[in-house]
Structure 1
Amino acid sequence: MDQAARVGERRAKPVGHVCLGYARASTARQSLDAQLDSLAEARVTRVFSEKISTRATRRPELEAAVKLAGEIRSSGVAVTLVVHEHKRLGRSIELAMLAEELKASDVGLEFLTGELKGSHDPSGIVFTVLAAMSEREYIRDRTLEGHGRRRNG
């Protein structure tokens, strides 16, 4: 089957719907419990979770979730990646790459809390805003962290 036929098939009316969840904590000391609880309440089919720094450029569990989402979607089932809040996905460049991958696979995105709570089409302005918010928040957090170290050190 050629690429155009596969894309047309994916765009056809989906048969069923699957929600996959993703949870991430930035440090080993942080708990995933609140995120996992909210994903369970959202009735996700499967949860991918990891404890990995925001600074990490690769997130193996997120990559696995996106890969599975694409495979399920290509079988004709609608798929939504469900995340507790946008900060769990990463920073600007990672978000832009994720948006392209989700868009190419026709996978939806839903945030359970935060400024962007709700379902989103992973393309266009939402991810531009999302990336900018995440980058700004990351810079603010690192700045405050630095100020705290100077006061305490």
Structure 2
Amino acid sequence: MSTRRQFLFIAIATLIGFVSLAPPVVADATRPAILEARVSKIIDGDTFTLSGHSRRIRVWGLDAPEWNRPGGSDATAALRGLISGKTLRCQVRDIDRYGRYVGQCFLPDGRDITAEMIQMGVAREYCRFSRNHYGSC
């Protein structure tokens, strides 16, 4: 075998070896990549449901007070005013321990819901998960 063929054989064998070591790419069938639908119900200041979807959506990167805590009703009212009845586009990033989709969601005009809620002062950035995506950690 010529030196050129030996080199080509070794190069191809090495490439095949690296490819076989890579983890398989598998689509995650348990969650869609993007949801787009009209808001059907506001649960609290960082959770809502979309029409046609049974699973709740938890807004990614947002830490709003619970409804029964100080500021909770203000956060819920602000989210209701911001998204109620609108069609949102949500990039699903995870499923939380309660089975909710965790999504970065956008209004029809492209505004990020988390950024809007932080700007209104009714919630704060959830730095543990957002890693300062919104610049307020």
Give the structure-2-normalised TM-score.
0.28
Give the structure-1-normalised TM-score.
0.26
Whichever structure has more helix as a proportion of its residues is 1
Whichever structure has more strand as a proportion of its residues is 2
